[in-house]
């Protein structure tokens, strides 16, 4: 089935003679590595077709109609991106996209974690919660991740939870898929909860973020998230009580956290 394997820049690259073989290999090598829900399984044909089309248009070169795939990690990432595009529709329906304005607490929403699992925000009931949109390649990344980890370590035993949501809407500074983001946070020792990449602004924004922005307005009353690492503090009852600009470092939020522990 596999014609030959070559080494390219240290990565194993597989060359296939036909799209049919490519699709078979994608299924065998990668799909078993994803935790697929029933809905996702029903969408498998769409995922494969979209992934193949994307690979065909983004690979660096072809030889005699042979498609060169950069690596299994890249392939898994492409699958993850296409899977997320399908899941986003379902997620918005499940998490109350159409009636987010009627929700009373953050516990009325759900989101997908970095592994693609559905998570009800009710898991944070009774805990102070800090919600933050994050990015891997932002100038604020190093300081924020370090201080968020420190906050979490300091107050975890007292109940503090932190929920981070990757977003690529600000300068394209979170371009990777969830697989790559997970590798980054693992490498950097991130210990708090990480969710799948979402949008936080516009019509495609996750409904929970639409709710958060409506409950706590930004500078001069504007709702839109201005940049990476905007933060929302949610009390033990699930109400958003304060919003912090991206330039506010996590360590400066400590007094407000202490007040609601």
Local structure of 173: helix, strand or coil: coil
Concerning whether 138 is annotated as a catalytic residue, the answer is yes
Residue 207 to residue 63: CA distance in whole angstroms: 45
Rg (CA), the chain: 20
Catalytic residue among 77, 138, 167, 177: 138
Q: Report angle CA 251, 257, 258 to the nearest 5 degrees.
A: 105
Q: In what order do the strands lie in the sheet with 62-63?
A: 4-8, 11-16, 66-69, 62-63
Which token pair is 99? 């009636």
Beta-ladder partners of 131: 163, 232
**Phi, psi torsion values for 4, nearest 5 degrees:** -165, 160
> Cβ neighbours of residue 148 under 8 Å, at least 6 residues apart?
130, 132, 162, 164, 190, 192, 250
Catalytic positions: 138
């Amino acid at each position: 089935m596999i014609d030959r394997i070559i080494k390219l820049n240290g990565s194993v690259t597989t060359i296939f003679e036909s799209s049919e073989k490519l699709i078979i290999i994608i299924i065998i090598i990668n799909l078993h590595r994803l935790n697929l829900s029933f809905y996702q399984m029903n969408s498998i044909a769409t995922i494969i077709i979209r992934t193949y089309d994307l690979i065909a248009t983004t690979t660096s070169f072809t030889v005699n109609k042979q498609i060169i795939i950069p690596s299994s990690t890249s392939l898994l990432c492409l699958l993850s991106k296409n899977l997320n595009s399908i899941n986003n529709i379902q997620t918005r329906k499940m998490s109350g996209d159409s009636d987010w304005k009627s929700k009373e607490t953050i516990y009325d929403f759900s989101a997908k974690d970095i592994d693609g699992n559905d998570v009800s925000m009710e898991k944070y009931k009774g805990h102070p919660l800090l919600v933050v949109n994050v990015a891997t390649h932002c100038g604020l990344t190093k300081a924020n991740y370090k201080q968020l980890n420190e906050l979490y370590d300091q107050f975890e035993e007292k109940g503090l939870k932190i929920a981070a949501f990757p977003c690529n809407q600000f300068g394209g500074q979170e371009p990777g898929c969830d697989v790559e983001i997970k590798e980054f946070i693992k490498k950097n020792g991130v210990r708090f909860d990480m969710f799948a990449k979402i949008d936080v602004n516009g019509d495609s924004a996750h409904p929970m973020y639409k709710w958060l922005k409506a409950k706590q307005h930004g500078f001069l009353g504007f709702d839109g998230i201005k940049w990476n690492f905007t933060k929302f503090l949610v009390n033990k009852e699930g109400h958003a009580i304060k919003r912090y600009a991206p330039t506010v470092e996590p360590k400066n939020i400590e007094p407000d956290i202490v007040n609601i522990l």
